[in-house]
Amino acid sequence: MAVVDVLNVTGDKVSQAELADDIFNVAVKGSVLHEVVKMQLANRRAGSASVTNRSDITGSTKKLYRQKGTGNARSGSIKSPLRRGGGVIFGPQPKSWAYKVPKKVRKLALKMALSSRFQGDNLMVVDTFGVDEIKTKTVVKALTDLKVDNALIVTDAEDIKFELSARNIKGVKVIRTEGLNVYDILKYNKLVLIESSIKGIEGRLSA
């Protein structure tokens, strides 16, 4: 078991917490993290790019004039991609870019992402932020005292007052344990865990 200091919002050590080695201290493989992050970003793509092809153009499909004898270059329908206002050939159409990586790989990648933050000394545990009212200034002061300016903060349960207080702080995101993911962990410089969230994370990844 790895042991980390638990801090209060002023940055003082108040206790210690244990972290499971098989979740927070595993060997990190960049290829596994890359595969899962790539999947997450692909699944977020809208896939809504769309062009007007020949079948979408309003107009007749009749040949404009006979093939030979007019002196003009041969021509087909007014919808031809060669003509102004015609359809687009092989342009993008709406599609889903989503795909899945095996569940075991996704779980392993999440453990690796957590481990990369722990091993890089970029994981911090805070007992509680203790936000009693929706006030951004309170959270900003706490993060300043903790010397954190870019972080993913993980909570164990719904805390609307805290989430709304931190919502407009640049470089800070609050997420619940059930929404914890590889991309967000790696995106932010620091991973800040509310002490109560550790059990939730270990419960989710130990099964």
Question: Residue 147: which region, alpha, beta or left (left: phi > 0; alpha: psi -120 to 50)?
Answer: left
**What is the per-residue pLDDT for 128?**
87
**What is the per-residue pLDDT for 206?**
84
**What is the per-residue pLDDT for 144?**
93
What is the three-class DSSP state of 24?
helix
Counting as low any pLDDT under 50, the low residues of the chain are none
Residue 106 vs residues 39, 97, 137: alpha-carbon distances, Å: 10, 18, 36
User: What is the H or E stretch that residue 124 is in?
Assistant: strand 123-126
Residue 41 vs residues 37, 47, 182: alpha-carbon distances, Å: 6, 12, 11
**What is the per-residue pLDDT for 207?**
63
Architecture of domain 2-45+97-206: 3-Layer(aba) Sandwich (3.40)
**What is the per-residue pLDDT for 130?**
81
Q: Give the model confidence (pLDDT) of 19-33 as tens digits.
A: 999 999 999 999 999
pTM over 0.85: no
Structural domain boundaries of the chain? 2-45+97-206, 48-96
Q: Look up tokens 């900003």; give the residue.
A: 140
**What is the per-residue pLDDT for 132?**
85
